[in-house]
Amino acid sequence: MEKQKLESMLIDYIDNRLNTVDKRVVEQELVNNAESYKLYEELKEVMHLMDRSARIEPSAKLRAGFDDLLKEEMTSARQTKTVFFQPALYRVAAAVALLILGGGIGFWISHQREERQLAERERLEALEKQMQITQQMMAMLQNGQSASQRIQGVNVAVSMGKADDEIVNALVKTMNEDPNSNVRLAALDALSKFSDDAAVRKALVTSLQKQKDPVVQISLIQLLVKMKEKSVVNDLRKIVDDEKTMQAVKDEAYSGILRLS
């Protein structure tokens, strides 16, 4: 039997996941092959060790810490979004706790913990800020009253540098559905910066059939040609053949076909 397959089957055998036929096969192998039997024994030992490994019990500090943080969160939720830690006070409290708890080593460890907590707080704040910016961006992109606000939303998205799925999806939606051409164009321009991304590339390709505004069509065709996206040649033909297409778009599509094929 192939080594890799045997190893995998042995693990499933120990976990009792095999059907009767496969079980027979493995048992036969174990009887006939001493080396396989050794492997089986060894695997069984580590697997059972892991399965039987004792749970580690957290100290009482964990629960106390949780109770404190919950209390703090509940008051800060009531106070409608103030700063959630009071750093100075918090640090004093931590220092006092240190003095009570710690000897020499205790001091060192606690100091490290305090630093960790500080770092975590900074991270949380950064995370929160990022979430706020994302939310703000989403709100701007959905502002039905003002096209400028929506463009600003696109600009915020670009300024965030890297695009996660949420941002890319929002930009794609804007590119395809926003009622204002300038906004759609801005979203297209923003997405062009992430055109290396496979999902973005796909979104740009499928958008070609959806765009009806010549301004956006022309820019999109230029971008797809620059990206050497050969799969759009058929869509470009359709655009050229469509009577309703504006001349400038036809010209662009035609030059695109020539350059891609």
Partner 1 sequence: MTDELIMEAVKRGELQQATLLFERYHKRIFNFLARMTMDRALAEDLTQNVFLRIIKYRTSYREGNKFQSWIYQVARNVFSDHYQANKNKFSDFVDVEKISDHMADLEEHEAQDEKEKLLHQSMARLSEEQRELLVLTRFQQMKYEEVAAIMDTTVANIKVKVHRAILKLREYYFEMEKI
Partner 2 sequence: MKNKKIITGIVLLLIAGCVQAQEFKVAKNSGRLELYVGKVTVEGYDGNEIIFSSKDGGKDRDERAEGLRSVNSLGLSDNTGLGINVTDKGNVVEVRQLKKTNAPNIRVQVPKGVIVSFTHESQYGGEAVFKNLTNEIEVSAQYNSIELDNVTGPLTVKTIYGHVEATFSSTIKDPISIVSVYGYVDVTLPQATKADLKLSTSYGEIFVAPEFDIKIEATGGMVHYSDKVVGKINGGGINIDLACNYGKVYLRKK
Q: Does 248 bind partner 2 (CB under 8 A)?
A: yes
Non-local CB neighbours of 228 within 8 Å, separated by 6+ positions:
260
**Please, which residue, 3 or 244, has the CB nearer to partner 1?**
3
Among 1, 27, 31, 61, which residue sits at the site for partner 1 (rule: CB under 8 A)? 61
Among 28, 112, 135, 155, which residue sits at the site for partner 2 (rule: CB under 8 A)? 155
Q: Which stretch binds partner 2 (CB under 8 A): 94-102, 111-119, 134-142, 143-151?
A: 143-151
**Please, which residue, 62 or 160, has the CB nearer to partner 1?**
62
**Please, which residue, 30 or 233, has the CB nearer to partner 1?**
30
Q: Locate the DSSP E strands across 135-206.
A: none
Question: Each residue of 63-72: b (16+ CB within 10 Å) or e?
Answer: eeeeeeeeee
Token readout for 143 is: 């502002």
Q: Does 183 bind partner 2 (CB under 8 A)?
A: yes
* Measured distance between the N- and C-terminal CA atoms of the chain, rounded to whole angstroms: 50
Q: Does 227 bind partner 2 (CB under 8 A)?
A: yes
Q: Does 77 bind partner 1 (CB under 8 A)?
A: yes
Nearest alpha carbon to residue 99 among 86, 87, 91: 91
Dihedral angle over CA of 142, 143, 145, 150, nearest 10: -90
State the Cα–Cα distance between residues 56 and 228, nearest whole angstrom. Answer: 57
- Least distance in angstroms from the C-beta of 215 to partner 2: 5
- Least distance in angstroms from the C-beta of 252 to partner 2: 8
101, interface contact from partner 1, partner 2, none, CB < 5-8 Å by kind: none
Instruction: Read off the DSSP letter of residue 213.
Output: -
Q: Does 86 bind partner 2 (CB under 8 A)?
A: no
- Among positions 164-203, residues that touch partner 1 (CB under 8 A) are none
Q: Which stretch binds partner 2 (CB under 8 A): 14-22, 68-76, 112-120, 146-154?
A: 146-154
Spatial contact of 233 and 257, defined as CB atoms under 8 Å apart: yes
Integer-rounded Cα Rg, in Å, for the chain is: 31
State the Cα–Cα distance between residues 238 and 248, nearest whole angstrom. Answer: 15
Residues that bind partner 2 in the complex, under the rule CB under 8 A: 145-148, 151-152, 155, 180-183, 185-186, 189, 192-193, 195-196, 213-215, 218-219, 222-223, 225-227, 246, 248, 252
